[in-house]
A and B are shown apart, each in its own frame.
Chain A
Amino acid sequence: MSDAELQEKPDLQIDQDQGNFSYPEDYAFDAGTGLTDKTIDYICDAKEDPDWVREFRKKALKVFDEKPLPTHWASKDLENIHFNDFRYYLSKGAKPKRSWDEVPDDVKKTFERLGIPEKERAFLAGVEAQFDSEAAYSNIKKAVAEQGVIFVGSREGLKDHPEIFKKWFGKVIPTADNKFSALNSAVFSGGSFIYVPKGVKVKHPLQAYFRINAENFGQFERTLIIVDEGAEVTYMEGCTAPKFDSVTLHSAVVELVAMKGAKIQYITVQNWSPNVFNLVTKRGLAHEESEIKWIDCNIGSRLTMKYPGVILKGRKARGEVLSIALANNGQHQDTGAKMIHAADETTSNIISKSISIGSGRATYRGLVHIPRHLKGCKNNTECDALLINTESRTDTYPAIVTRGDVSKVSAEQIFYMQQRGLSEGQAMSLSVNGFVNDLVRQFPMEYSVELKRLIDLEMEGSVG
Chain B
Amino acid sequence: MKNALEIKNLKAGIGGTEILHGLNLTLPKGEVHAIMGKNGSGKSTLAKVMAGHPDYEVTAGDVQLDGKTILGLDPDVRAREGLFLAFQYPSEIPGVTIANFLRAALNARRPEGQEIDAVEYYNELYQKMDLLKIDRSFTSRAVNDGFSGGEKKKNEILQMAMLEPKYAVLDETDSGLDIDALKIVAHGVNSLRGPKLGILVITHYQRLLDYIVPDVVHVMVDGRIVKSGPKELALEMEKKGYDWVENLAVA
Contact = CB atoms under 8 A, between A and B. Distances in A.
A412 B55 CA distance: 10
Contacts of A431: 93, 96
B95 A420 contact: no
B93 A407 contact: no
A412 B91 contact: yes
A424 B95 contact: no
Interface in A3-46: none
Contacts of B51: 415, 419
A427 B104 CA distance: 9
A438 interface: yes
A415 B94 contact: no
A422 B104 contact: yes
A62 to B, nearest CB: 49
Interface stretch (B74-82, B187-195, B200-208, B216-224): B74-82
Contacts of B146: none
Interface in B36-52: 51-52
A416 B109 contact: no
Contact of A430 (B75, B92, B104): B104
Contacts of A433: 95-96
B74 A438 contact: no
A154 B128 CA distance: 57
B79 A420 contact: yes
Contacts of B53: 415
A426 interface: yes
Contacts of B85: 419
A417 B54 CA distance: 13
Nearest to A436: B95
A448 interface: no
Contacts of B90: 416
A421 B163 contact: yes
A99 interface: no
B74 A420 contact: no
B98 to A, nearest CB: 11
Given A422-B105, A430-B101, A415 B95 contact: no
B109 A435 contact: no
B76 A422 contact: yes
B92 A420 contact: no
- Majority secondary structure, A binding face: helix
A418 B202 CA distance: 21
Given A407-B94, A411-B54, A430-B93, A416 B76 contact: no
A413 B108 contact: no
Given A411-B54, A415-B53, A418-B74, A423 B108 contact: yes
B87 interface: yes
A239 to B, nearest CB: 26
A421 B96 contact: no
B92 A423 contact: no
B95 A421 contact: no
Contacts of A410: 91
Contacts of B139: none
Contact of B76 (A421, A430, A438): A421
B96 A413 contact: no
A418 B93 contact: no
Interface string A422-456: 11101100110111111000000000000000000
Given A416-B87, A421-B163, A435 B74 contact: no
A302 to B, nearest CB: 28
Contact of B108 (A416, A426, A434): A426
A426 B77 CA distance: 13
B54 A415 contact: yes
Contacts of A427: 76
Contacts of B80: 421
B197 to A, nearest CB: 16
Contacts of B75: 415, 418-419
Interface of B: 51-55, 74-76, 78-80, 84-85, 87, 90-96, 100-102, 104-105, 108-109, 142, 159, 163
5 contacts: A412-B91, A415-B54, A417-B101, A421-B79, A424-B74
Given A419-B78, A437-B95, 4 more contacts: A418-B52, A422-B76, A422-B108, A430-B93
